[in-house]
Structure 1
């Protein structure tokens, strides 16, 4: 529940309301190649986290979702290389974005199922290997998904993952934050700007976050009482707009939101709910890959 600009409570922006009524449509058995498997595995984790945190997790739902997680976890290991990286089809060079996505997801899944710590440690080592005090977390190209399309964006994505996991706050992450801060002179990429706003919120650097959010205010798209962002004015990818707008929402709410922030956030939530499908989910930014 949020408050609108006048301070009144508003419940029409309930992102999870429809989803909770259709859990059978959102809880899915992961399958397919390395990317598709993770795209299906991750929602199970977030649904479990939400239900646990709101004390709505029943034994039946826990059993069903954890069975899916265990199956998806075991399947994902088929796409893991000996160096800790993951690839889409289990062959060829490791996909850095996918490896970070797996690391992020497995770290969260640990509270529900057994994840071998060695798998998490190997992926951490793979990602952190090229780090030095003068370079960002990632300094090489990778096959990327969603809006993650360049070195700065990939570094921001991985930095967010490490900050969420409370890992390596000193050293590599601080070095990456320093490099990312130097990149904010160019805010032409709306996706990157939104992601960076979330990163610096997680890092507690509210001055930099506020600077980024002020820029995002200048490119926001307003439709009635709704607010959202697109990569370009003629953006046709609803899934990418959902991802960008969600990062702005997270940046607004991850610190200590004011009443004004909550009112602003409620307008983003109302737009996000308008993009939901029948089951309460959203179209994915994942490329639908061939089944592996």
Structure 2
């Protein structure tokens, strides 16, 4: 359903277009017609998402009518725009300003606090310790090769924070994100953290995945949030971390499980897990 009620919903429509293009390109199955459609969808989504931006470079569900931008949504937008830039014209300044805002709100200890209201409560990690959100946000910087040097100290501080709190990675979701962040950063602890993540995986037959123990229901539950979608998302990050460490073959059991989880419309349960899963 193409609903565009808020900055998060709009990303539901924007992101799959990028992913489909990348996927079909990789499989050499991209037709001119599909490419045209996907680019059009991206351009519309891009322009629309800009309306949810704040003067300071951040993004939030309802734009300027929200008191402040959201850490999570701003990181998600920066990351997605970065990927879309391979296909359509994205003003670099928009990504730069989003990363600048994230850099400004970073705590002295290197963590990225949750500013603004969020729907995606899992990003807060276990007990709100925020390793998940910090790992998620630093990935937006790490995946941006162009601006990497500019934000080097921000990235270093965030990685140091993750390193200091590795012992607290009891939450599988945070662990999967941290493993992926450390892999792309080529951090000295990447293998150790990845091994820890592997040990938490469920393996059955020729499949492998990760599951999350369910927290108590909280007020912040959002309309799209379902528990199984988190398993898809974690497993997708597990796959990304696996692909960074080894050849594609080790990723096959995870791929098989992810494929088995798709819903009848060909997507997954929610924004994030469809995006990451693809």
TM-score (norm 2): 0.82
Q: 116-125 vs 61-70, which deviates more? A: 116-125
Counterparts of 1:219 and 1:283, CA distance in 2: 23
Q: Is the 8 A contact 1:128 1:172 kept in 2?
A: yes
1:123 alignment partner in structure 2: 98
Q: Is the 8 A contact 1:35 1:286 kept in 2?
A: no
Whether 2:186 is the aligned partner of 1:208: answer no
Q: 34-43 vs 273-282, which deviates more? A: 273-282
Which of these two proteins has the greater Rg computed from alpha carbons?
1
1:38 alignment partner in structure 2: 11
Q: CA deviation at 1:238?
A: 1.2
Whether 2:231 is the aligned partner of 1:231: answer no
Counterparts of 2:28 and 2:213, CA distance in 1: 40
Alignment coverage as a number of residue pairs: 254
Pairing 1:1-292 to 2, within 5 Å after superposition: 31-90=4-63, 91-92=65-66, 93-131=68-106, 134-144=108-118, 145=120, 147-149=122-124, 150=128, 151-166=130-145, 167-169=147-149, 170-205=152-187, 207-232=188-213, 237-255=227-245, 257=246, 262-263=249-250, 265-284=251-270
Gaps of 5+ in 1: 1-27, 288-292
Residues 30/60 of structure 1: CA separation in 2 closer, same or farther (3 Å cut)? farther
Q: CA deviation at 1:165?
A: 1.4
Counterparts of 1:286 and 1:200, CA distance in 2: 20
**Bigger relative contact order, structure 1 or 2 (CA pairs below 8 A, ≥6 apart):** 1
Gaps of 5+ in 2: 217-225, 274-278
Please tell me the root mean square deviation across aligned C-alpha atoms, in Å: 2.5
